[in-house]
Amino acid sequence: MTASAPTIAPTLVSLRDLQDAARAISAVAVRTPLLPADVISDQVGAQVWIKPEMLQRGGAFKFRGAYNFLSRMDPEVRKRGVIAPSSGNHAQAVALAARLFGVPATVVMPTTVTNAKRGGAERLGARVVLAGTTTADRMARAEELVREAGMTLVPPYDHPVIIAGQGTVGLEIAADLPSVDTVLVPVGGGGFSAGVATAIKLSLPNARVVGVEPSGAPKLSRARAAGHPVRLESTSSIADGLMAVEIGRLTFAHHERFLDDVVTVDDSALRGAMRLLLDRMKLVVEPSGAITVAALLEGRVPPRGPTVAVLSGGNIEWSGLRELLD
């Protein structure tokens, strides 16, 4: 009988990694504020703040990780260009980072991509290639293009440099509200939620971090129940940015170490949260971004004290708002 190879635990992002990422992006990224959300506070019975990443360059948190990744590339390798598989926000982030570095970018997007997200990538100078409807479809096509063109693939979430870049959101929350009790963060492939959870726990160990995902795409909920990432047969939600069919291996390891809980939210609640944020706080938020507020309003995460709901992005335009909210 041959002995099986020992399982090697992945190396997790450190506080120094997060701080290095914060320095790398400091001159180019927006340090988004914490906004008091009185209308939500009144409904849930605790003080709630909003972290509005739709105000970030590129319209979402993704710019943080993308720029951090490109900033660490060898300049000669970077000149050959970058490729990004993405449902939308990562594509725009990589396109913007590439433009700032003066290098070409190609983005692989689903055939179902919204006009707002495709148009955003094109306006930022990226070449758009369409491939299938799933994360696996986009990744397979992106890897083909890497082999053909000699460009570098910028991972959407399952990479330590990406996780560290996204985690700078958590560092800002910890610095701006050290009394925070609970932080809610959306869960897609897991880079954002892993980074934010890691930053919060390493800065404020007693704070609680809760991930929120669509009920039609419960990839992290299933993974936690199984004890390892599980590939979903299909996903369905209006939160197109959270539709990964499987949580990343590295991001899952961070969730197991730093995330306290994960909850799911139905699409109907996302529409209500989007409308409230638009009507009462004058914030335009895409469904993926509004999911944390939806979780609060639906009682999925009863707040215990000062609470921050992270809004991950706002890449939706007038036609999309009308379609969803009419």
Q: What is the DSSP letter of 184?
A: E
Pairing of strands 261-265, 48-52: unpaired
Q: Which of 51, 62, 117, 219 is catalytic?
A: 62
Contact yes or no for 220/244 (Cβ under 8 A): no
The DSSP-derived string for 63-82 is HHHHHHHHHTS-HHHHHT-E
Q: Which residues lie below 8 Å from residue 221, measured CB to CB, with a gap of 6+?
A: 213, 262, 264
Q: Is 62 a catalytic residue?
A: yes
CA pair distance 164, 147, nearest whole angstrom: 27
Q: What is the DSSP letter of 2?
A: P
Q: Is 221 a catalytic residue?
A: no
Place of tokens 């990226």: 126
CA pair distance 250, 10, nearest whole angstrom: 7
Q: Which of 86, 193, 237, 312 is catalytic?
A: 312
The type of residue at 205 is P
Within 13 Å of residue 137, how many CA atoms lie on the same side as its CB? 14
Q: For residue 224, give the H/E element and its range.
A: helix 219-226
Pairing of strands 208-214, 261-265: parallel
| 211 closest CA partner among 256, 268, 157 | 256
Within 13 Å of residue 320, how many CA atoms lie on the same side as its CB? 17
CA pair distance 293, 161, nearest whole angstrom: 28
296 Cα distance to chain centroid: 19
Q: For residue 109, give the H/E element and its range.
A: strand 105-109
Place of tokens 């397979």: 140
Sheet of 208-214, strands arranged across: 35-36, 48-52, 307-311, 182-186, 208-214, 261-265
Query: Which residues does the annotation mark as catalytic?
Result: 62, 312
